[in-house]
Structure 1
Amino acid sequence: MRILVSGAGIAGSILAYWLARHGFAVTVVERTSALRRAGGHAVDLFRPAVDVSEKMGVLPRIEERATGTTRMTVYREGARRPVRADLSRIFGAASERHVEIMRDDLSEIYHDAACGDVEYVFGDSITAISSAGEVSFENTSPRRFDLVVGADGLHSNVRRLVFGEESRFGEFIGAHFGVLTLPNTSGLDGELLLHVGVGRTAGMYGARHLGDARALFLFRSRHELGHHRDAPRHKELLRGAFAGMHPQVDRWLDELDRTPAFSFDSITQLRMDTWSRGRVTLVGDAGYSPGPVVGGSTTLAVIGAYVLAGELARTGGDPERAFPAYERAMAGHVRDSRAVALSAAKTLVPTSRLGVRGLAEGARLISALPAGPSRALLRMTTKSARLYNSVTVDDYAPSPAATGDRAGQPDDLSGDLGRQ
């Protein structure tokens, strides 16, 4: 059975890895010319995602590339003294297993795990998908696949082709974010600097292996602002939103015209009744993004990719049984992740002075308390801790035949889409 995956990011590569392990013939198509190395921000892997990564044998590499951020200094806008917190204590209280890693590093690790058994095609994208499985591409001849999976992110091309425009499913939750790469002039290693005001939060962090640093900006607005690829407009929006916050933040903004990597987007949730239609389904942010930066979307994508591959294996690749089973298994996690994202957005981008103070003092208190009380306090006051510690996933063990000779795999996968 031939399966086409659109998107070589985190969800796409994990899905491809497990599909190949279960004996399917997998092609991954990615519109960029190589794996994305666009800077990006740090992402969190919580317990279930760490468990899946351990099953893949890549956890040592992930831990080796972890950011190692263990300290946080919070500057409240208008306050004289910063508040310092122990992030390792906070994460330890929130989740039994947790790793923070740069998105690009994580994507590369998962790609490396999959690429030996999977056909990767870079520099191309899908233009049409027929009900019979005929797939057309921008740059190469059509090919037929038994199934197609959109793993191509919040602004999914596959979702647009099969389900319709993004505006039908997106729910803007009142905030935007921007990320830029800049020199690590402060020598940050394991520390997050955070400036928090009413309706706006800016942070900077670095790690020894990065060689540079990242600045993350989050701010509230009543309406969604502009197209997600209009970089000049987005840089001006950030300058306007954070003007006068703090001299340190001003220096970060000065790097906007020099940064080698910049991204900006609205914090939007996807709310779809189903992620599947015919022989096509969606995974990760393409189907159920709870909101970038705030919703634990990376952990959700890892779980979703693992579950989808497992359900396809259980049903012999039958989409009429596998896709509904996949959606049933993920529905509760997706629903809960949306609530987590809404709660996190309110915490990270406070709407009042009391909220600003609560963020700073809450972090200090949780990190200062002994492990037992801090864990209890965090679990009582945050939805995220309850969600991530309660997620359970079936064990979809590949059959010996699938892990040996990968039954059903054709000798030549190249066809019209050669390896690039």
Structure 2
Amino acid sequence: MSIIYDPLHDCKMVGALRAFHGISDSMTIIHGRNGCHCGALLLQTLSSEQNSVRVLFSGLKSSDEVYSGEERLASAIRLADRTFSPKAIAVLNCSAPAIMGEDVVGLQMLLKDEIRAKLIAMDAGGPEGPAWLGYEEALSRLVLQMSKGKGETSKGINLLGFKADDFCSQGDLFEMKTMLQDQDLFVNCVLSGSSFEQMQKAPQAELNVLLGGDGQECAKAMQEKFDIPYIAVPYPYGLKKSIQFVEMIAEAVGKQADPQILEKEKERTKKIVERAHMFFQGIYSTPVAVIGESGRAFDLAEFLSDELGMDVKLLAISSCNYSTSDMVDARDAPYEKLMVEPDRHDMNLALKDAGVSLIFGSSFEKRIASELSASLVRLSYPVLDQISLSNLPYAGFSGIASISESIINSILNRNKEEICA
């Protein structure tokens, strides 16, 4: 096993924050040094909707590392409840107070009858694990807040593994809901991309759907507590994955996807592609690299290879999930080389050796893309240097046009110096 000096993934706190922040009427308090809060706040501000950033700081000081910061945290919780009146307050115990042994769970029990908001506390320090484990644990903590009345009829599905701070996430969610509605499939709740009340009603669904395998711990907990089955579906990049997405969900609830609607979408996609067929022919066999989270990157690589005819030289998984090992063992891989949570230096060397001219990644790949004179298509978390206000999707049937535009335009917009290099 190689030593990782500069990992692609972040710490457990960031993953937990991404899960809790998706609850639209919640607040998250970062109990840690101000650097933890500053970094988390910056990530959410630059990658999420800036009119709904709900990340607070407990005010932990250096002296609190000697005398305990629990009273300061309690004051922050009371103030947040009184000032913002959220439905829920998530408290993330970061590295320094976690090492000190701060009892945030005990504090949760102490304050639960004092504040109006539901209080959810968890340890999320760097030594606790990577971001994806924080995301999984945070989602599973929400199950404790769910309830189902006796005699309630199960209907609709829940989408698990949605991340509201992914680039173009709102467009993706709208497109996925539209695809399902076209098949008379109702979305009951999105985790996490709903209000706290909607989240509490998640047990009313008849099926949990894991996007790219994300949210498995939550799905297992809901299956055990509410007897709700779950399935993992591909993230619907491209035509093939979109059809699989619809057909798998329909089959799981005892229905059959309407073939006429799917055929109609195929024809619509064909007409879109025909409008720029010379450009599509021009990107055949282009050497590319895909860098991103497991729940998205495997499906993206397959779309690029099978449908756009690109040559995926390298697939680098920046953050795993519980399905990653199954994807790694899959046959007929659409990529030449796979790296799972590598050191950034090692990944950059692999990119140079692969000779790629196009990189699908995050804002953090901007430097290596510039060094290689390669185009960068920003698809992976986090995207901090590009915004999307139009809510155009990258996923689903309608996302094929958007993602194709981004790919082709990234090549056409290259300047002369990049081309000569």
Q: TM-score range by the shorter chain?
A: under 0.3
Bigger RCO (CA 8 Å, 6+ sep): 1
TM-score of the aligned structures, taking structure 2 as reference length: 0.24
More helix by share: 2
TM-score of the aligned structures, taking structure 1 as reference length: 0.24
More strand by share: 1
